[in-house]
Amino acid sequence: MTTAGKIRTLEDAARWRVAQQGLGPVVFTNGVFDLLHAGHVALLEAARAEGVALVVGVNSDASVRRLGKGTDRPYVPAAERARLLAGLACVDCVVIFAEDTPLALIGRLRPDVLVKGADYAREQIVGADEVEGWGGRVVRIPLVPGKSTTDLLRKLNGPK
């Protein structure tokens, strides 16, 4: 199987999740992952270290535009962002979601651990109450200083 096989529909991801039962904690994180960079990889590796498998929810192109990141975003289409993430050894499953938040995806996959970057306060983490409600954990991972899509875009665009 190529790493592209890690990209699953919601239904396939739900079946995959059932197959993970009893193997150890399944971790979930989500994001846009536009212009994949070292900060993303560090967060994903740290997330994977919290369990035996990592599911990554990826915002669809339409949901990225609704997030208000700019009319020109995402720079990389969702299918390509998902493919890049699937190519990482620390990622076991990738699901593109079209909703504004990953709440429905989290509810369907019922991860044992929910991970977000430490730039999110616990109260801002979508799905935190639900995951803790079924006995899971919420983990906030420190960000790598100077490694963000915003910083990368600033470097690419140069001084204005």
Residues 140-155 pLDDT 10s: 999 877 777 767 777 7
Residue 67: per-residue pLDDT: 87
In terms of Cα–Cα distance, which of 2, 131, 114, 99 is closest to 55?
114
Q: Given CA atoms 33, 99, 28, 141 in this order, what sign does their dihedral have?
A: positive
What is the domain extent for residue 133? 3-157
Percentage, residues of the chain above pLDDT 90: 81
| Predicted confidence (pLDDT) at residue 157 exceeds the cutoff of 60 | yes
Q: Residue 74 and residue 105: Cα distance in Å, rounded?
A: 21
| Predicted confidence (pLDDT) at residue 3 exceeds the cutoff of 70 | yes
Residues 26 and 52: beta-carbon distance below 8 Å: yes
Q: Residue 131 and residue 73: Cα distance in Å, rounded?
A: 30
Residue 90: per-residue pLDDT: 98
| Predicted confidence (pLDDT) at residue 119 exceeds the cutoff of 80 | yes
In terms of Cα–Cα distance, which of 10, 6, 7 is closest to 104?
10
Residues 37 and 149: beta-carbon distance below 8 Å: yes
Domain containing residue 121: CATH number:
3.40.50.620
Torsion of CA 73, 103, 16, 75, to 10 degrees: 0
Residue 62: per-residue pLDDT: 94
The model scores a pTM over 0.95: no
Q: E strands, 32-126, where?
A: 53-59, 93-97, 113-117
| Predicted confidence (pLDDT) at residue 14 exceeds the cutoff of 90 | yes
> What's the pLDDT band for 103 if we cut at 50, 70, 90?
very high
Residue 71: per-residue pLDDT: 79
The pLDDT tens digits of the residues spanning 34-74 come to: 989 999 999 999 999 999 999 999 999 999 999 887 778 89
27 pairs with which residues across the strands? 54, 113
Degrees to nearest 5, angle at CA 108 with 104 and 114: 80
Residue 72: per-residue pLDDT: 84
When the pLDDT of each residue in the chain is averaged and rounded to a whole number, the result is 93
Residue 124: per-residue pLDDT: 95
Number of domains, the chain: 1
Edge-to-edge strands of the sheet including 93-97?
A: 93-97, 53-59, 26-31, 113-117, 137-141
